[in-house]
Chains A and B, each alone.
Chain A
Amino acid sequence: MDRRTEFEEIVRRETSRVFNVAYRLCGNYHQASDITQETFFRAYRSFHRFEGRSRISTYLYRIACNVWKNSLRRNRIQNFTSYSSGMDVKQIEDIAVAENPSHGEEATRDDRNRIIHECLDSLSPADRAIIILRDMQERSYEEIADILKCRTGTVKSRLARARQKLSGKILPFREVLNK
């Protein structure tokens, strides 16, 4: 199997996971697509340097986080992460309707997504990334430290802080989220 074929296999296997991380990070469906594409493009360019010492998903998450951080810097003025801008809710609802006829069920799911995004949006980018990687993607502390290029101790303290802050934001919506 040549490297391109091998990488295409990785694309098929990991696209959904990378997209979801990107989507939780930026809260924008279109931007998540762009970040995912850019992530795989960069990963392929430096794929010859990937030595397999970490999981391929860790490698891809690291690139995705960097792409996302770069986009944050580029768009510092434009607050694209605000899920409540309405545009993305509508887009997701349209996609949900197109892909699944049971519109009501998808709408409830999108409500949950919207609330979660709004809550995540209240965190700093670094804290948000740690919560997503730990509590949504179930990555170990060491992997998170590897992805975010920081020490494990930093991950521990930031995670505790982020969890406390997030609990204050998300728990008032527990009834909607548990529906």
Chain B
Amino acid sequence: MKLHGNAEIISLYMDGRLDEKLRASLESHLKDCGECREILARMQETRTLIAGAAPVKPPATLERDIIAGLPERKTFSLFFRRIYLPAIGTLAVMVIASLLIREYLPREIELQIAKTPVREQDIADKDINESGRKKIETQTDFHVAEKSKESPVHSESSGPPQAPEGKTVPADRPIAEIGREEKCIMPAEEKREAEKTMIARESAAGKPAAVMKASKDEAISLAYRKTAFSPIVIRSEDEWKKIWHTQNTMQNLSLPLPEVDFREKMVVAVPSRIEDREYLVVNTVEKADKIVVEYRELPLQQPAPAPYQMNVVNRKPAVELQKID
């Protein structure tokens, strides 16, 4: 280490902070070096002069003023600082985060969430079973309880539900209204089960409610209609968007929404598959007061067809299903 002219070493030497070896080296150097001796002397004199400055007397009232100015300690200050404020802060962050997620969640992620993975279904089904409720089978899409195996409506049927042949669905009401009417047919217990299943699934998936594109009521009505194999009549843009979104989501697609003039037209959507049977729409006939959808019943096909077969038709007050052989 360079000793000559090294003010730091000399300063440390002055304060007795050098180890034995370095101190000996410096003392040896100082004997021969007048310049370093001069630095040391100046530093020592400076310290003496500074240290000799007389202490200044503080104002006579300072002590009293300080004591008088001390704040009264509050007993809750520790609680306030350690628990209350952090709790409020955490809550605020959570609220802001949830708002941001709802606002900015990308559509791709939203679609992924909308598709319920099998594991989540299992969790939801397990929850239902544990609570002594009936297990409700579902499709892997849309969080919809598709069919209740023990449903009183179909309990006598060992196979899938049969299409209500010749049943006429009035087409002069929107999808939501049809859903409500169908729900009236649905037994109260089954309805409760379907609602519980929905809630359990949403909870298991940790999915924000806003992500659901259809409300619970609509989902339940959709489920019932699919169970009963009846057509869905779409008469407005909003309903059209919902079912198109469902169709795309279930097929992992994001096709643009086809334009339909709902002032003159309506869309008839027929489910393609109910359990182990498929339904193929063969023909759609427009009559004076109704639309007749002719379909054929088939065994399961591979690959699975699109969830709904949709046709744009002129507005009519009713839609009828007709099975052909």
Query: Contact residues of A with B, CB < 8 Å?
Result: 3-4, 7-8, 11-12, 15-16, 19-20, 23-24, 29, 32-33, 36-37, 40-41, 44-45, 48, 92, 95, 99, 109, 112-113, 116, 131, 134-136, 138, 141, 156-157, 159-161, 163-164, 166-167, 170-171, 173-174, 177-178
Interface of chain B, main secondary structure: helix
Tell me, rounded to whole Å, the shortest Cβ–Cβ distance linking A27 to chain B. 11
| Chain B interface residues (CB < 8 Å from chain A) | 7-8, 10-12, 15, 17, 39, 42-43, 45-47, 49-59, 62-63, 65-67, 69-71, 73, 78
Please tell me if the beta carbons of A170 and B56 are within 8 angstroms of each other in the complex. no
- Closest Cβ–Cβ distance, residue A78 to chain B (whole Å): 22
Q: Which residues of A contact B51 (CB under 8 A)?
A: 135-136, 138
B62 to chain A, nearest CB (A): 6
Q: Which B residue sits closest to A131, measured CB to CB?
A: B50
Residue A163 contacts which of B11, B62, B63 (CB distance < 8 angstroms)? B11
CB<8 Å pairs between A and B, sample of 8: A19-B62, A33-B62, A37-B65, A41-B70, A95-B57, A141-B17, A167-B42, A177-B52
Q: Which residue, of B10, B43, B47, B66, has the highest number of chain A Cβ atoms within 10 A?
A: B66
Q: What chain B residues lie within 8 Å of A135 (beta carbons)?
A: 46-47, 50-51
Asked if B45 contacts A171 (CB within 8 A), the reply is: yes
A160 and B70 within 8 A (CB) = no
Question: Once the chains are docked, how many angstroms separate the CA of A156 from the CA of B306?
Answer: 79
A residues in contact with B66, CB < 8 Å: 11, 15, 36-37, 40-41
| Of A36, A116, A141, the contact of B58 (CB 8 Å cutoff) | A36
Are the CB atoms of B69 and A164 closer together than 8 Å?
Answer: no
Whether the Cβ atoms of B70 and A15 lie closer than 8 Å is no
Which of chain B's residues has its CB closest to A2's CB? B73
A18 to chain B, nearest CB (A): 9
